Amino acid sequence: MTKMTLGSHPHMLGFEQLERLLERTAKSGNEGYPPFNIEQTSDFSYRITLAVAGFAEEDLQITVEDRTLVIRGRQSDDGDGRVFLHRGIAARQFQRTFVLADSVEVGEAIIENGLLHVDLTRAKPETVVQTISIRRG
């Protein structure tokens, strides 16, 4: 039996990029840290919230690379000579990626109470009707 892909389905023309996008998302390697929420805040807006307790604003970097929202965190080791008897709060780096549709734009990012909020908006789709003329061959 042959595997049917989006790009090879006879009624799905031009969806090869979507198929590659799905494969890239599956391979993104996002692990469980840091935990996050995605909420729909209106019909055309979303908010991603990451739990980044212990990270300062300068420890975080947010970029959009090839329609992928990338959030990175790296805490600097202050090395102030502290001696830990137990270290249960990990100071590890992370990278979270979220693939964005072409119509989604990243808005502002806010950090408060150990939570990083990233607001996204999706453009309202325009209804496009195109009439194709038929000519004789």
Q: What is the pLDDT of residues 65-114, one digit of tens each?
A: 988 999 999 987 666 788 889 988 767 899 999 989 889 999 999 999 99
Question: Is 18 part of any domain?
Answer: no
> Is 57 inside any structural domain?
yes
Q: What's the average model confidence in pLDDT over 21-47?
A: 82
CA–CA dist 35, 126 (Å, integer) = 35
Q: How far apart are alpha carbons 73 and 87 in whole angstroms?
A: 19
Q: Is residue 24 part of a domain?
A: no
Q: Domain span at residue 96?
A: 30-122
pLDDT category, 30, cuts 50, 70, 90? Answer: low
CATH number at residue 34: 2.60.40.790
Q: Is residue 45 part of a domain?
A: yes
Residues 84-106 as b or e (16 or more Cβ within 10 Å = b): eeeeeeeeeebebbbebeeebeb
- Say how many domains are in the chain: 1
- Quote the pLDDT of residue 42: 95
Is 38 domain-assigned?
yes
Residue 80 domain flag: yes
Q: Is the pTM of this model over 0.75?
A: no
Residue 136 lies in a domain: no
